[in-house]
């Protein structure tokens, strides 16, 4: 489970996703990849920069009396506050966005990515750094953020294509 929560553990997946997006979308892939930057900033800052400081809910690993009951891997206990899980929020936002934005071309992608997001989410509870509600609410929030960004991407992409076809007709 330590592997599933590691920040650098998923670099091969990100490289693979980049390769897949470029393979399927060629030059258009960058218009698909750019919103991911916005998405990760939005989901991470909302979870870590807004919700955690507002709720100040201690992680199980920092809750007095719970520590002896928990299993810590590599002595990792996370930061002080855990509601909501940034890992879960970020992964579910990314997975939802990519699944929706590529739905017409890469049909198999959600079947690969959603189990990975679930594994990452479960690993946070297993490591004792989140309550189940921390990751559940974060997953819902991430799905919502991914949905919003994919809708914005689709709307912007349609507007660009409409303008391009209008320019071809008038030229």
Domain ranges in the chain? 26-166
Report the pLDDT value the prediction gives residue 62, as an integer from 0 to 100.
72
User: CA-CA distance, 113 to 99, in Å (whole number)?
Assistant: 8
Average pLDDT over residues 148-156: 93
Burial string for 62-99 (b: 16+ CB within 10 Å, else e) reads: beeeeeeeeeeeeeebbeebbbbbbbbbbbbbbbbbbb
Q: Select from 120, 96, 122 the least CA-distant residue to 110.
A: 96
Q: Kindly report, residue by residue over 72-92, the tens digit of the pLDDT.
A: 766 667 778 889 999 999 999
* Predicted TM-score of the model (pTM): 0.86
What integer best gives the mean pLDDT of the chain?
Answer: 87
- CATH 3.40.640.10 is held by the domain 26-166: no
- Chain-centre distance of CA 80, in angstroms? 21
Question: How far is it, in rounded angstroms, from Cα 117 to Cα 92?
Answer: 6
Predicted confidence (pLDDT) at residue 123 exceeds the cutoff of 80: yes
- Going by pLDDT thresholds of 50, 70 and 90, the confidence category of residue 166 is confident
């Amino acid at each position: 489970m330590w592997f599933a929560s590691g920040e650098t553990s998923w670099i091969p997946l990100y490289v693979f996703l980049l390769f897949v997006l470029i393979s399927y979308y060629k030059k258009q892939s960058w218009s698909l990849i750019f919103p991911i930057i916005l998405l990760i900033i939005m989901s991470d800052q909302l979870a870590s920069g807004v919700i955690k400081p507002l709720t100040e809910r201690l992680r199980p690993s920092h809750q007095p009396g719970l520590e002896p009951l928990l299993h810590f891997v590599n002595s990792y206990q996370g930061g002080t506050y855990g509601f909501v899980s940034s890992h879960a929020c970020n992964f579910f936002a990314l997975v939802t966005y990519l699944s929706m934005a590529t739905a017409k071309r890469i049909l198999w992608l959600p079947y690969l990515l959603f189990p990975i997001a679930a594994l990452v989410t479960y690993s946070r509870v297993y490591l004792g750094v989140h309550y189940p509600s921390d990751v559940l609410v974060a997953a819902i929030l991430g799905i919502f953020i991914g949905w919003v960004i994919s809708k914005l991407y689709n709307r912007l992409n349609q507007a660009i294509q409409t303008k391009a076809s209008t320019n071809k007709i008038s030229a």
